[in-house]
Amino acid sequence: MRGAGAVAAAVAALDVPLIHLCTDDVFSGRATGPGARTIRSITIEEKPAAPRSNGAVTGLYFYDAEVFEIARAVTPCARGELEITDVNRTYLERGRLSVAKLGRGFAWLDTGTPESLLEACEFVRALEKRQGYRIACLEEVAFQMGWICADDLARLADDMVKSAYGRYLAHVAAGGR
Residue 52 phi, psi dihedral angles, 5° rounding: -95, -10
Rg (CA), the chain: 19
Q: Are residues 93 and 120 in the same domain?
A: no
pLDDT value of residue 160 = 94
Can you name the residues that pair with 41 across neighbouring β-strands?
A: 29
Are residues 77 and 33 part of one domain?
yes
Same domain, yes or no, for 85 and 145? no
Work out the average pLDDT over 54-59. 72
Annotate 98-130 with b (16+ C-beta within 10 A) or e (fewer).
bbbbbeeeeebebeeeeeeeeeeeeeeeeeeee
> What's the one-letter identity of residue 23?
T
Q: Region 26-41: what's the mean pLDDT?
A: 50
For 57-85, what is each residue's pLDDT tens digit? 777 778 888 999 999 999 998 889 888 88
Domain boundary among 101, 135, 164: 101
Co-location of 32 and 84 in the same domain:
yes
Q: Write down the pLDDT at residue 62.
A: 81
On average, the pLDDT of the chain sits at 78
Exposure class string for 31-44: b at 16+ Cβ within 10 A, else e: eeeeeebbbebeeb
End-of-domain residue from the set 101, 129, 147: 101
Shared domain check, 165 and 91: no
Q: Assess contact for 92 and 84: CB atoms under 8 A.
A: no
Q: Which residue has the higher pLDDT, 150 or 46?
A: 150
